[in-house]
Amino acid sequence: MRKPGFCIALCATCLAFVVVLLGAYTRLTHAGLGCPDWPGCYGFIYVPQTEEQLAHAMLRFPDAPVEADKGWSEMIHRYFAGGLSVLVVLLALQAIKRRRQPGQPLGLPLLLLGVLVAQALFGMWTVTLKLWPHVVTGHLLGGFITLSLLFLLSLRLSGRAPAVPSSWRLRLLARAGLVLVMLQVALGGWVSSNYASVACLDLPTCNGVWWPAMDFDNGFHLSQQIGPNYLGGHLHSEARTAIHFTHRLGALVVGVAVALLAWQLFRRGYSVLAGLVLALLILQVSLGMGNILLRMPLMMAVAHNGGGALLFLSLVLVNYRLRAVPHTSAANAFDLPSFLSLSPSIWRRGWNFTIGAVSKGARVVSLLQARR
C-alpha cells in the first residue's frame, strides 16, 4: 500500500530527471557562465532585457557581456532546480511530521535535504569559481545522487517493490555494478568539464591508433589551481585524450559488469529486471558511440546524460529489489517487478508532469526569444 508522500516523491523524481537534462544542456551549450553571478543573473531574477537593465549589467560585469540565449539556458535550469528544492523541502517536512508512523522513512528525506544544500553550494561555486572542473564534476554527481535518492524514496513509499530472494553473490554483483556506473558517471563529468568529448574522433581506435599519445598526469591532476576561467578548458590535447580514453576503458568495464549482472538476473528468473538493465546499457553504449562518430550533436549528447541517469536508476531498482530479506516463496521470486506494475494513472501523472514541465520551459524560451 502506498504511503503518504509517494506522489510528491514521484513528481520530484521526474523533475530531478528534467533538471539533470537541463544541466547537461546548459553545460553542452557552454552556458554555465551565462549569468556571471548567483543566484540571480546580472543582479536580476531573470536575464536583463531592456536597455536600462543591459546598461546596469554592463556596469556591474564589464567583462561578461549579456548573451541572452546562454543566460536563459542557465536561469531556466535554476528555476527548475528551485522547483525541485521546494518538493524536497516538502518531503522532509512531511517525513518529520509523520516520523512516528510505522514505515515512514525519516533519514532518507533528511539526507535529501542535506544533498540539496550541497547542490546549491556546488551550483554557486560553479559560477563563482568559473567552471572549475572539480566543482562542475561534483555538481553533476550531486544531481545524479539527488535523482537516485528521490527514486529510492519513491520505491520505499510505493509499497509495490518488495524484496526478492537472492544470494549474497548476486547482491554483491549488483552493488559492484552500481558503484562502477557511478564512477563512470564521474569520469563522464570529468570528460565534459575538461572539454575532452571530441579528443578522439573515431572508433574503435583513437585518432587512428589503438594507444594514442596521452598525458595522464595533467589529465587527472586533481590539485590544479583555481581560475581564472575554465570555459573551453585549459588542458592540452594529450591530457584531454587521456581523459577521453580512460572514459572509453571505463565504458568497457561497466559494459562487461552490467551485462554479467543482467545475465545472472535472467538466470534466476528476474527477466524483466534483466531486460530493463540490458536495454538501457545498449542504449547508453549506442549513444556514446553515436556522439563520437557524429561529432557530439547536441541532442544526442544530452540524451547520453539522460541515458546514464536511467541506467543508474535501473541499478538502484535492482539493488533495492535484491536487498537482503528472509527467504520467501518461489511465487514471489519470479513475479514481475511490482513497482513497474503501478496503476497506469500514477505513471500517467508522473509522465504528464515531466512533459508539462519540459514543454513550459520550451515555451518560455521561445517567447523570450520572440520578444528579442
| Beta-bridge partners for 44 | 41
Q: Which helix (H) or strand (E) holds 245?
A: helix 237-267
Contact 8, 350 (CB under 8 A): no
- What's the CA gap between 217 and 225, in Å, rounded? 15
Contact 191, 219 (CB under 8 A): no
Of 52, 67, 74, 238, catalytic: 74
- What's the CA gap between 54 and 46, in Å, rounded? 12
Contact 196, 244 (CB under 8 A): yes
Contact 358, 79 (CB under 8 A): no
Neighbours of 207 (CB within 10 A): 13
| Distance between first and last Cα of the chain | 51
Q: Cell 564534476 sits at which residue?
A: 137
Alpha carbon 312 to its chain centroid, in Å, reads 9
**74 is a catalytic site residue:** yes
Positions annotated as catalytic residues are: 74
